[in-house]
Amino acid sequence: MLKYQQNPDWRRLTGSEYIQCARETDPEFLDFFGQLSALLTEKNSTWSFESPCFKNNTFVIDFDDAKKEITVNHHTTGHKNFICGDGIILSIMSNYHVEAVYLDGHHKYVFKDLT
């Protein structure tokens, strides 16, 4: 504390000391920052990509006008690391859903009672 009072700049971080988030390098704990997005507006629209934790991600959206609901199917394969998980935020106008995906497989999200 005394050292700081005498010289407030004694331990300020310089540019080279900041942790940089780069996909090719560590630290991996910064991978939670959002990077990818898609706009699926047509029935059976599909979007595929590779994420930090899964080699293959495929999203398919389906509208059911009679039931007033939207179904989003998310299929993941190629889990890269046992403890790695992807954070997913799905948004439909004023409704949203936050999900953490840690396992390969099929994940289904249904938004109901949409008016």
CA distances from 3 to 10, 17, 25, 93 (A): 8, 20, 34, 53
Mean pLDDT of the chain, nearest integer: 76
Q: Which residues pair with 2 in a beta bridge?
A: none
> HEC states along 13-30?
CCHHHCCCCCCCCCCHHH
What number is the average pLDDT over the span 54-79? 91
What number is the average pLDDT over the span 85-105? 86
SS3 (DSSP) at 87: strand
Query: Under a CB-based contact definition with an 8 Å cutoff, are residues 86 and 52 in contact?
Result: yes
| 6-24 tens-digit pLDDT | 555 545 545 554 445 555 6
pLDDT of residue 58: 92
End-to-end CA distance of the chain: 59
How many Å apart are CA 109 and CA 96, to the nearest integer?
10
